[in-house]
Structure 1
Amino acid sequence: FTALLRGINVGRAKRIAMADLRRLFADLGYADVRTLLNSGNVVFAAKSPDAAGHARTIRAAIEREFSLTATVIVVTAADLAAILLDNPLRDVADDPARHLVAFVQSPVDLAAARPMLARAWSPEAFALGQKAAYLWCAGGVADSEILKTFMRYTGETATTRNRTTASKILAIAGEGVRPA
């Protein structure tokens, strides 16, 4: 599994040391806990196949242990691989640092962004998949109108990772699928 925490260690807000986060996951009974970067990407093994249940457990533990509220999205390694492989913007987005994948816990959360499909975003681009949204931020992420609009539609239900980071997470998760 991979847990993606929204808004952790961005600027000075919601600071959690990755060593403390790994310890928390281990204390929750998760195995093979690994983190990537300092932004709330945690790969772990669990006996239960219930990704949404893991998300609820982790979110509650973060609130209890660190007194922080954070959206936690948990996906299986197989789902992460499928999300990256099914990316409809792979041929449009030529810089993986500006190509975002937006993860949600439930595909229902993507429906809020459906109105974005009716708009032409050029030079940016937007697509919805079965389990994720895909954003091409041609001018960069910081000033991206498409990202700001997407986050207005989805609020706290989504978290984004650029394609480089998402591919690194997948490599750590061990599925062996390494989309470009």
Structure 2
Amino acid sequence: MTMYAALLRGINVSGHKKVPMAELRTLLTELGHGDVRTHLQSGNAVFSSASDDENALAAELEQAIEKRFGFPVPCLVRDGGYLAAVAAACPFPAAELEGRQLHITYYGQPVDAERFAGIDAAAFLPEEFRLGDRALYLYTPDGLGRSKLAGALFRPALNKGRIATSRNWNTVVKLVEMTASTGTAHDGARA
């Protein structure tokens, strides 16, 4: 069995697209997954599965969520090894930063450097970004809410046709921990 994280995009924000975590855990269990747990209310779940197809797992979850809740929710599914490798490859000094200063945006497909070539990185300093394979690392010293670079990187025209969802460093680390082992509930949230 492989441990996965499901990263749901755009749920439970300002009262829109409400997906209670207890119901998400139930849904994942009903889909036949084990070791189901959630983290926070922003769409982070971990589970074990015998499947080795992240895209099929994501599509199955998207369909089940739309059927259960009545609205579409883009989902990415990544295995624990991948999450750990992305965290380990972070080009910024994560141990020296606050979790709110560092974010990873996970993409549904490989990141195309040409898509971001038009961004004048020097104009946004001290904010910085680096690209990974299916990830973008973003350093925002004053936090994401005040970031001008984030606005440039995530404008709809630049990301058209791509599934992407961001997590702050604290959540990245927690998901790596949660997918590295089984049996430990977080926040009392075990199916």
User: Structure 1: which amino acid aligns with 2:73?
Assistant: A
SS of residue paired to 2:152: helix
Match of 2:175 in 1: 169
Paired with 1:145 and 1:57, the residues of 2 have a C-alpha distance of 35
Q: Say whether the 8 Å CA contact 1:4–1:42 is kept in structure 2.
A: yes
Identity of aligned residues (%): 34
Match of 1:47 in 2: 50
- 2:61 matched to 1:58? yes
Root-mean-square deviation (CA), in Å? 2.1
- 2:155 matched to 1:154? no
- 2:91 matched to 1:85? no
SS of residue paired to 1:154: coil
- 2:106 matched to 1:103? yes
Shift of 1:71: 1.2
TM-score, normalised via structure 1 length? 0.89
Q: Say whether the 8 Å CA contact 1:126–1:134 is kept in structure 2.
A: yes
- 2:121 matched to 1:119? yes
Paired with 1:112 and 1:15, the residues of 2 have a C-alpha distance of 35
Q: Which moved more, 1:134-143 or 1:27-36?
A: 134-143
The CA deviation string for residues 125-145 of structure 1, in whole angstroms up to 9 with x for no partner, is: 010012210011122211211
Could you say if the C-alpha distance between residues 22 and 10 of structure 1 is closer, same or farther in structure 2, counting changes exceeding 3 Å?
A: same
Match of 1:94 in 2: 97
User: Structure 2: which amino acid aligns with 1:34?
Assistant: R
Q: Which moved more, 1:87-96 or 1:11-20?
A: 87-96
SS of residue paired to 2:145: coil
Q: Say whether the 8 Å CA contact 2:116–2:153 is kept in structure 1.
A: no
Q: Say whether the 8 Å CA contact 1:112–1:154 is kept in structure 2.
A: no
SS of residue paired to 2:99: coil
Q: Which residues of structure 1 form unaligned runs of 5+?
A: 176-180
- Structure number with greater Rg is 2
2:30 pairs with one of 10, 27, 31: 27
2:134 pairs with one of 128, 131, 134: 131
The number of equivalent residue pairs is 175
Higher relative contact order (Cα pairs below 8 Å, separated by 6+ residues): 2
TM-score, normalised via structure 2 length? 0.84
User: Structure 2: which amino acid aligns with 1:87?
Assistant: C
Shift of 1:92: 9.7
Q: Say whether the 8 Å CA contact 1:99–1:137 is kept in structure 2.
A: yes
Paired with 1:93 and 1:157, the residues of 2 have a C-alpha distance of 30
Match of 2:186 in 1: none
